[in-house]
Amino acid sequence: MNFDPGKWCSEHKGMLIIALASMLLIFYFFFPFMDGIILGTVFAYVGKPIRDTFGKRKRLGSLVAAVCIVVPIFFVLGLGMIEIANQILILAKNQEAIRTTLSILTEETSRDLTPWMKDILTSVLENAASIIAPIAASIPVFHIGRVASLGIINFIVSIPVCYFVLVDGESFVESIISLLPQREKDAYRKYMSRIDYILSGIFIGTIYTSILGSIIAAFIFYAFSLPRPFALASFVFLAGMVPFLTSWVVIIPVTVYRYFSVGMEGAAVFFLLSSALIYLPSELLIRPYLVAAKSSMHPLLVMLSFLGGALVAGIGGFFLAPAIMGIIVGIYQVRREEMTSPEAEEA
């Protein structure tokens, strides 16, 4: 018996309207926790290799995977965001102190400079102060506190989401596929397999590498007594996630800061040590071994997805946009292979 979608929808119109209204209400109520849901889902996807090592003990493996993925990221990103929020509040409340600090910094760093270099440095710092001060004055302090609190809540929500997606996610997807007509099930499984392959290349090795590099960076920044070490480590994590950006995006500016604060020798020691412990292991040794599956996506698409998602939807968008791009590319690749197959050409 052939299935007629139009006839079925017309016969169950009332039920479809109720189901759609219910879904919209659920989305409305869950919207404040959307970042946590997205993060938990992506973390579950990344934690699959850890869960699979436990074999049939799926629940124990899911718990271990959730802890191993969420806790380090919360340690780096969560504490980093807290430090950034605190720094923004300090900037908003202490504008005069910022101007005084910049003046003192100008005097200390310009002692050994030539007069023309001293004038350039003074002009740059004064311009920076004139730009930062009005921005800091316009910062909504209470809004920053609310965003930071909501971010912490979303990180906490991501832990149970990650666990339950690892436990029941695959069976949920299979139950959705089972509702499709029999002739379409194999095709949809093919699409899902390709999407899984692409997302593996985007997320699994990249997130593992970024986690390790950011944790090492946090300890190194703390050992060198740098201000806001977790905030700097969170930037290392984000830079490691985006193609073309590496930990040197953070290491080089911090090295320049060390040069002005402790001199050439201290800056050189920091640069060599941080490069040897943060950049070299993660980018040259660990990433090639962890990224077993290739995403087959152009690096420019991946970079724009990460950056555009972060600008539009914050942390959740940072992880969701590349996943959506991977789904689109996966569907396109499978469809292109079907159209160029010998059977399609004969038809």
What is the tens place of the pLDDT at every residue in 101-111? 666 666 665 56
Q: Which helix (H) or strand (E) holds 144?
A: helix 141-178
* Residue corresponding to tokens 């190194």: 220
Quote the tokens at residue 132: 């930062």
pTM above 0.85, yes or no: no
Which residue, 84, 344, 119, is CA-closest to 237? Answer: 84
Contacts of 325 (CB under 8 A, 6+ apart): 297, 301, 302, 305
pLDDT of residue 315: 76
Compute the 3-state secondary structure of the chain and give helix, strand, coil in percent, each to the nearest 5: 85, 0, 15
CB < 8 Å & 24+ apart, contacts of 74-77: 74/155, 75/215, 75/218, 76/211, 76/214, 76/215, 76/218, 76/230, 76/233, 76/234, 76/237, 77/155, 77/234, 77/237, 77/315
Residues of the chain short of pLDDT 70, as ranges, are: 1-9, 11-12, 88-148, 243-245, 283-296, 341-347
**Contact of 139 with 91, CB cutoff 8 Å:** yes
Residue 174: count of CB within 10 angstroms of its CB: 12
Rounded to whole angstroms, what are the CA distances from 334 to 28, 190, 195, 337, 347?
34, 8, 9, 5, 18
Residue 41: count of CB within 10 angstroms of its CB: 20
pLDDT of residue 199: 82
pLDDT of residue 46: 84
Residues in the chain: 347
Rounded to whole angstroms, what are the CA distances from 92 to 86, 102, 103, 127, 140?
10, 16, 18, 18, 9
CB contact burial 290-322 (16+ within 10 A = b; e otherwise): bbeeebebeeebbbbbbbebbeebebbbbbbbb
Give the Cα separation of 158 and 33 in Å (integer).
Answer: 9
pLDDT of residue 1: 47
Quote the tokens at residue 262: 């402790």
Tens of pLDDT, residue by residue over 81-139, are 777 777 766 666 666 666 666 666 666 655 666 666 666 666 666 666 565 555 555 55
CB contact burial 74-101 (16+ within 10 A = b; e otherwise): bbbbbbbbbbbbeebbebbeeeeebbee
Give the Cα separation of 152 and 154 in Å (integer).
Answer: 5
In the chain, the amino acid numbered 3 is: F
